[in-house]
Every structure is written in C-alpha cells, then in structure tokens.
C-alpha cells in the first residue's frame, strides 16, 4: 500500500477541508460554556456595582446613627481674617471678636560674613541663644573650623534648638538668620552670641534685625485674651479660633448655633444614596422585552431579598419616641420605590426639635433607631461573609467549574477530530490502493485486448 503523506493526495478528495468543517461543528459544543461563563462574569461585575451602591447607602445611614450629629454646633464668622470651629462642648452664643495683634515667630540675623564657606570657629566653640525675656537659653556646640554654612546645618540638625537657620545674602555679605520654630513672645529669639571664634573673626547678633516674637491679642465681648499662637483654644469653651494676619485691627462677629445644615444634609444624603441604589438595582433587573438586553441580575434572588429587606426597614415603625415613621418629618416612599423629601417639613423638624430626629434615627443605643436597624441589615449584605460576598463567590466558583468543563470538552473535541483524521487517512489510503488496482487492471485488459486483436 502506498504511503499517504497528506490527506486527499491518495483519493483526490478535499479531506482537509472536510476535517476543518467537522472541527468547527464539534467546537460549537463549546459555545454554551463560553456564554455561561460570560454571563457569570457579568453577574460578578453587577454584584460589585450593587455592593458599591450599598456601601454608599451604608455610609449615609451610619452618619444618622451617630448621636453627635444631632448635638452638633456650627460657628459662623461675619468678616474676613478669622475662622472658627465648634465642638460638642460648645454652647450657642454670639460674640464680638476684636483682634489687636496676631501671633508672630521672632527672628534675628547675624552680622555679615564675606565668605559663607570660610572657617569661623576655634575649638570648643558654641552658639548661645536666649528666648523671650531672657529666662530661657540654649547653647549649641559647634565643631572647630565650622563655616557659616556648617553652623546653619548644625542648628537645623538639632531638634531642640528652638530655631531654624538659613543664610541670606544682603548684596554685600552673607548673614545667618535664625527664626523661632514657635510663635509667641516667650518663644521668640531675643539674642545670639558665639564663643571661641577663630582669631580675628567677628560674628554676633545684629540687634537692628531683631523681630521679637509676639503673642496674639484679641478682645472677646470686652475680655482681653492673649495667645502664643494664632490658634486660640479655650477662650470660648468648645470653640477654636484661627487668626489670619489680615485680621489685625478688625472687629468680627461670631455666632455659635446648632448645626441644622449638617443634620439636614445627612438626611438628604440618605435619601439620595437610597434612590441611587434603587436606580442601580432597577437597571440590573430590567426586562428587555425582546427589544433590548435585560439587566444582568434579572430574577436574581439575592437582589430581590435585598430590596425587600430595605423596604421593610424603611417602612416599619420605630418605637420609643414621638416620631415613628419617616413621613412625619417629610420623607416618604413613592409608588416607584424611591424616597421623596418634603424640604419644608424637614426644615421645620430640624429647627424645632432635632432631639426627636435623634430618637428616631439613633435611638437610645446603636441598634435602637431606624439607622441602627438599617445598619444591622446592611451588615448582613456587606462584609466578608455577607450575602453579596457569597453571591460573588458562587459566581466565581461557577466560572472556575465552567473553565474546567471547557478544558475537558476541548480535549474531547480534539480527540474526536484526531479520530476523524485517522479514519480519513485510512479512507485516503484505501481509495489510493483501489485507484492503483483499477489502473493495473485497466492496463491488463488493454494488453489482453491487443493480443486478441492480433490473433
């Protein structure tokens, strides 16, 4: 039997083309697995977006479960150059703040040196500093042969020096400039001097360049206040004032009042984040109706359970206070499953009785109010062991299973194709053999006919 080196040579048939068609037909069995994998991967992505929406809603709910939100105060300043913040310890009130001076860090420059790299110090040299009224001193050891630049680096490398050093060129000479690291009269540098300089070297503090440290001075409702910094704490209980240099000479009005804006914004954020979540769920569960693609999670049980649990929490009454349902202060669930807000009604409640809102949302403890109840529900959805994580894990496991099935089926397809290839090879060889036999018989019959014709 003749050896066939390529399919179709022996038979003259397009066996390679037929084999390719059979391979394509067999690989069609892989298409459903690919489609299922794509569907599961799309669900994983959708679960991720759902989780993001739930996280945002959870943040809004957590803010309403913080009792300090309902006790918060805000500090408002009329005028420029002063800012203020109020803590929970503050009390409502109005204040007139007259700023005489703002705090300043002192500085002092040395006498000039022509060459900042020239050695200046002898053995056991030091830089001696005094601060404020002279009661505070600091001595910094210098190395023999230190230059102005070396002295600068030594000062800056000492965390306890109390000053920062730099070098300024005044057009003729170089000067060592020391600036106090803290503001205020007591922290301001008052003098500098050097001991054990090299012979002939003159270096000292230049009194003409002294800028003494200064305390901030202000008057609050007729009471004089001083502060070593421009951050004034404790002058008004629970209030921190920040002075800007531009406030010197200004009289500003400060009002400390309940932070109704913060409370209202927290409720508004809860409403908007819930509606955004519902819009996300709506897109994910939408039915295409044959005219478009349906949502990635249409009919998904996890999503249905999340929706129903959230609606149950939002519409169930809260016991323990005068407010029992959200509609009493202007928040209601409409027929489309979205929250609607009556701002006028909410404004009235926030202004008149924020304590009732505190009882409704935060309750007597973290789990007592509506926000606490919803945080517990959202905790079941989110987290490492929540229903979202379980749903994602389930889809990821399904993807892994589909990958394994795909590999096994692909191997099965290749085995089938190889079986076809072997059968086609046998067919090719058999037809080639038959063609050779036919050719031989044709030649023999022709020879016999020729012999019979001569006879």
Within this chain, do residues 408 and 365 fall inside the same structural domain, yes or no? yes
Cβ burial of 80 (10 Å; 0-12, 13-18, 19+) is: exposed
Closest CA to 403 of 28, 38, 46, 23: 38
Please give the pLDDT value at position 6: 65
The reply to whether 291 falls in a domain is: yes
Give per-residue pLDDT as tens, 157-202: 999 999 999 999 999 999 999 999 999 999 999 999 999 999 889 9
The reply to whether 63 falls in a domain is: yes
Strands (DSSP E) found in 52-118: 73-78, 82-86, 93-101, 107-109
- Considering only residues 10 and 195, tell me which one the structure prediction assigns the higher pLDDT: 195
The reply to whether 450 falls in a domain is: no
Within this chain, do residues 245 and 228 fall inside the same structural domain, yes or no? yes
Give per-residue pLDDT as tens, 261-273: 888 999 999 999 9
Determine the Cα–Cα distance for residues 271 and 43; give it in Å rounded to an integer: 27
Of 197, 224, 258, which marks where a domain is finished?
258
Within this chain, do residues 283 and 421 fall inside the same structural domain, yes or no? yes
Give per-residue pLDDT as tens, 123-153: 999 999 999 999 999 999 999 999 999 999 9
Within this chain, do residues 294 and 385 fall inside the same structural domain, yes or no? yes
Instruction: Give the containing element (helix H, strand E) for 241.
Output: strand 239-243
Whole-number mean pLDDT of the chain? 88
The reply to whether 444 falls in a domain is: no
Within this chain, do residues 243 and 187 fall inside the same structural domain, yes or no? no
Closest CA to 409 of 37, 7, 16: 37
Within this chain, do residues 323 and 371 fall inside the same structural domain, yes or no? yes
Please give the pLDDT value at position 365: 62
Give per-residue pLDDT as tens, 255-312: 998 888 888 999 999 999 999 999 999 888 888 765 667 888 888 899 999 999 999 9
Of all residues in the chain, the percent with pLDDT exceeding 90 is 54
Of 209, 226, 247, which marks where a domain is finished?
209
- Residue 174's domain spans which residues? 107-209
218: its two tokens: 């202000």
DSSP string, 233-255: EEEETTEEEEE-GGGTT-EEEEE
Between 387-454 and 15-27, two packed helices, what is the crossing angle to 10 degrees?
160
Whether 98 contacts 223, CB under 8 Å: no
Within this chain, do residues 99 and 224 fall inside the same structural domain, yes or no? yes
Determine the Cα–Cα distance for residues 186 and 215; give it in Å rounded to an integer: 8
The reply to whether 443 falls in a domain is: no
The reply to whether 243 falls in a domain is: yes
Mapped onto helix, strand or coil, the DSSP state of residue 240 is strand
Among 133-142, 217-226, 354-363, which is the least confidently predicted range? 354-363
Within this chain, do residues 62 and 80 fall inside the same structural domain, yes or no? no
Closest CA to 378 of 142, 57, 45: 57
Within this chain, do residues 254 and 266 fall inside the same structural domain, yes or no? no
- Considering only residues 12 and 218, tell me which one the structure prediction assigns the higher pLDDT: 218
Count of structural domains within the chain? 3
Give per-residue pLDDT as tens, 48-93: 899 999 999 999 999 999 887 887 788 999 989 999 999 878 888 9
Of 226, 258, 290, which marks where a domain is finished?
258
Within this chain, do residues 271 and 376 fall inside the same structural domain, yes or no? yes
Whether 178 contacts 163, CB under 8 Å: yes
The reply to whether 326 falls in a domain is: yes
The reply to whether 445 falls in a domain is: no
Q: Quick one: CA dihedral 381, 384, 385, 388, positive or negative?
A: positive
The answer to whether the pTM exceeds 0.75 is: no
Confidence of residue 252 (pLDDT cuts 50, 70, 90): very high
Whether 7 contacts 432, CB under 8 Å: no
Within this chain, do residues 155 and 98 fall inside the same structural domain, yes or no? no
Determine the Cα–Cα distance for residues 265 and 251; give it in Å rounded to an integer: 31
123: domain CATH number? 2.60.40
**Which position has the token pair 């206070």?**
321
Whether 282 contacts 336, CB under 8 Å: no
Within this chain, do residues 37 and 111 fall inside the same structural domain, yes or no? no
Give per-residue pLDDT as tens, 376-428: 999 999 988 889 888 888 888 888 888 888 888 888 888 888 887 777 777 77
């Amino acid at each position: 039997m003749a050896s066939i080196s390529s399919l179709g040579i022996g038979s003259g048939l397009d066996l390679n083309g037929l084999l390719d068609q059979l391979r394509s037909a067999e690989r069609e069995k892989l298409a459903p697995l690919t489609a299922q994998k794509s569907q599961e991967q799309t669900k994983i992505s959708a679960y991720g977006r759902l989780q993001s929406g739930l996280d945002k809603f959870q943040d809004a709910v957590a803010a309403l479960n913080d009792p300090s939100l309902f006790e918060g105060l805000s500090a408002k300043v009329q005028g420029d150059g002063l800012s203020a913040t109020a803590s929970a310890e503050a009390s409502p009130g109005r204040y007139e703040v007259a700023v005489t001076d703002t705090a300043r860090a002192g500085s002092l420059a040395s006498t000039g040196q022509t060459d900042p790299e020239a050695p200046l110090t002898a053995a056991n040299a030091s830089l001696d500093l005094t601060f404020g009224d002279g009661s505070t001193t600091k001595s910094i050891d210098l190395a023999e042969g230190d230059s102005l630049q070396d002295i600068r680096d030594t000062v800056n490398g000492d965390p306890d020096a109390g000053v920062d050093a730099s070098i300024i060129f005044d057009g003729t000479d170089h000067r060592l400039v020391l600036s106090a690291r803290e503001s205020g009269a007591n922290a301001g540098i008052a003098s500098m001097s050097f001991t054990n300089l090299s012979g002939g070297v003159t270096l000292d503090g230049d009194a003409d360049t002294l800028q003494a440290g200064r305390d901030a001075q202000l008057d609050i409702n007729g009471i004089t206040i001083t502060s070593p910094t421009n951050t004034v704490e404790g002058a008004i209980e629970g209030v921190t004032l920040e002075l800007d240099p531009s406030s010197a000479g200004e009289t500003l009005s400060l009002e400390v009042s309940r932070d109704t804006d913060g409370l209202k914004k927290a409720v508004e954020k809860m409403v908007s984040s819930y509606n955004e979540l519902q819009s996300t769920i709506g897109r994910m569960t939408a039915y295409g109706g044959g005219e478009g693609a349906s949502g990635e999670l249409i009919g998904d049980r996890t999503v249905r359970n999340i929706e129903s649990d959230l609606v149950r929490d939002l519409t169930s009454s809260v016991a323990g206070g005068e407010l029992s349902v959200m509609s009493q202060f202007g928040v209601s669930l409409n027929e489309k499953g979205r929250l609607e807000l009556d701002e006028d009604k909410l404004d009235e409640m926030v202004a008149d009785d924020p304590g009732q809102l505190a009882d409704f949302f935060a309750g007597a403890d973290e789990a007592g109010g509506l926000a606490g109840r919803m945080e517990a529900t959202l905790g079941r959805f989110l987290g490492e062991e929540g229903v979202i994580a379980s749903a994602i894990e389930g889809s990821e496991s399904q993807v892994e299973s589909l990958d394994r099935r795909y590999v096994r089926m692909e191997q099965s397809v290749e085995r089938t194709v190889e079986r076809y290839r072997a059968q086609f090879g046998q067919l090719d060889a058999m037809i080639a053999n038959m063609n050779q036999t036919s050719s031989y018989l044709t030649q023999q019959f022709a020879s016999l006919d020729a012999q019979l014709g001569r006879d």
